[in-house]
Amino acid sequence: MTGLNPNNSYGKSKLTVEGLLEEVSKSINHNRKINERSRPENVEMNQNQNQQGIFKAISLRYFNPVGCHESGLIGDCSYQDQNLFKIIERVSTGDLQDITIFGKDYNTRDKTPIRDFIHVCDISEGHVMALNYLIKSTEMDMSKSNMENQGVASTYEVFNMGTEKGYTVLEVINSYMKANNIKIPFKFGERREGDLEELVSDSTKILNT
Q: List active site positions.
A: 10
AA identity, residue 124: S
Q: Considering only CA atoms, which of 186, 200, 167 is closest in space to residue 88? A: 186
Q: Cα-flanking dihedrals φ and ψ of residue 62, to 5°? A: -140, 155
DSSP string, 124-160: HHHHHHHHHHHHHHHHHHHHHHHHH-------EEEEE
Tell me if 61 sits within 8 A of 158, measured CB to CB.
Answer: yes
Residues 46-66 as b/e (b if ≥16 CB within 10 A, e otherwise) read eeeebeeebbbbbbebbebbb
Q: What stretches of 46-202 show up as alpha helix (H) in DSSP?
A: 47-51, 84-92, 120-148, 169-180
102 sits in which H/E element: strand 99-102
Count other Cβ atoms within 10 Å, centred on residue 174: 15
